[in-house]
């Protein structure tokens, strides 16, 4: 009799667990549910249309970093960070010549971002200048024999439900859009830059996005900012618009024409 009671109790426990699991699956499939969507492999699914990173509660995109959140400079680091204009328009206004915006600058403007996720790769495409990052998710080591690039070499790995993207192999370039706010100064990074992104899906509509800058030639230690990205399913219908810089480039070197 006692053995039967034990078996019945175990059976009831299994049934209860199955009911809870069924409710979770049903909640994730309902449009109004706030459960975190998951891919077939069980990982959080970041796929969709998103706005650009911004500080929580902010209305506009985070086009520049908050200086108060940056680490102190190493000796000589400030001179590398703030680069004055030279009079050369290709240096002073590189985007006027359709030169790459670089990372993270290209992802900080007020343009949509589309994310496509598979078990092997995460693709992040922004409407601005058609910048696309293809990020392997297997945690592979970074290459040691490649030429530095404007957008770096990103590699992703999972830490539980958090997607960690580490990028290296950058060439020296602008860090953010500060030179559009202060025409006398650029904020630059060096070729030693390492960026670390931590993406965590808070709910169906929100990604918590921590961004870390590590440039030992400029700063004494890595420093981070916390942003959010908001999902926009209404953008799915039109998708990303094509942005061809050369077709819209009317002001080469500041010489505008019709």
Distance CA 172, CA 74 (A): 17
Tokens 């009079």: give the residue. Answer: 87
As a whole number, mean pLDDT of residues 123-146 equals 95
Q: Residue 193, SS3? A: coil
Q: What is the pLDDT of residue 250?
A: 57
**pLDDT exceeds 50 at position 86:** yes
Q: pTM, whole model, 2 decimals? A: 0.82
Residues near 87 by Cβ (< 8 Å), separated by ≥ 6? none
Average pLDDT across the chain, whole number: 85
CA 1 from chain centre, in angstroms, equals: 60
**pLDDT exceeds 80 at position 113:** yes
Residues 187-194: contacts with CB under 8 Å, at least 24 apart: 187/64, 187/65, 187/81, 187/82, 188/80, 188/81, 188/82, 188/83, 189/213, 189/215, 189/218, 190/80, 190/215, 190/217, 190/218, 191/148, 192/216, 192/217, 193/152, 193/168, 194/166, 194/167, 194/168, 194/222
Taking alpha carbons only, the member of 67, 152, 59 closest to residue 110 is 59
Q: What is the pLDDT of residue 203?
A: 94
Helix ranges, the chain (H): 2-29, 77-81, 89-92
Structure confidence at residue 82 as a pLDDT band (50, 70, 90) = very high
* Selection from 81-90, 173-182, 189-198 with the highest mean pLDDT: 189-198
Residues near 212 by Cβ (< 8 Å), separated by ≥ 6? 195, 196, 197, 198, 222, 223, 224
As a whole number, mean pLDDT of residues 25-38 equals 58
Q: What is the pLDDT of residue 32?
A: 43
């Amino acid at each position: 009799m006692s053995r039967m009671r034990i078996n019945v109790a175990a059976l009831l426990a299994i049934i209860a667990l199955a009911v809870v699991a069924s409710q979770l699956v049903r909640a994730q499939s309902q449009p109004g549910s706030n459960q975190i969507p998951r891919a077939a492999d069980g990982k959080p699914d970041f796929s969709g249309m998103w706005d650009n990173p911004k500080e929580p509660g902010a209305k506009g995109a985070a086009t520049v970093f908050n200086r108060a959140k940056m680490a102190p400079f190493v000796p000589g680091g400030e001179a590398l960070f703030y680069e004055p204009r030279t009079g050369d328009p290709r240096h002073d206004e590189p985007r006027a010549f359709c030169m790459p915006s670089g990372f993270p600058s290209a992802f900080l403007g007020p343009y949509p971002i589309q994310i496509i996720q598979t078990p092997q790769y995460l693709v992040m495409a922004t409407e601005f200048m058609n910048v696309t990052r293809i990020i392997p998710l297997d945690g592979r080591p970074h290459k040691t024999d490649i030429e530095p690039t404007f957008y770096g070499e990103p590699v992703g790995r999972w830490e539980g439900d958090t997607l960690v993207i580490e990028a290296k192999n950058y060439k020296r370039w602008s860090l953010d859009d500060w030179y559009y706010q202060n025409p006398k100064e650029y904020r630059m990074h060096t070729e030693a830059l390492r960026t670390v992104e931590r993406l965590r899906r808070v709910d169906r509509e929100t990604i918590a996005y921590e961004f870390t800058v590590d440039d030992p030639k400029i700063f004494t230690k890595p420093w981070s900012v916390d942003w959010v990205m908001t999902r926009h399913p209404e953008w799915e219908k039109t998708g990303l618009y094509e942005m061809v810089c050369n077709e819209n480039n009317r002001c080469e070197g500041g010489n505008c024409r019709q």
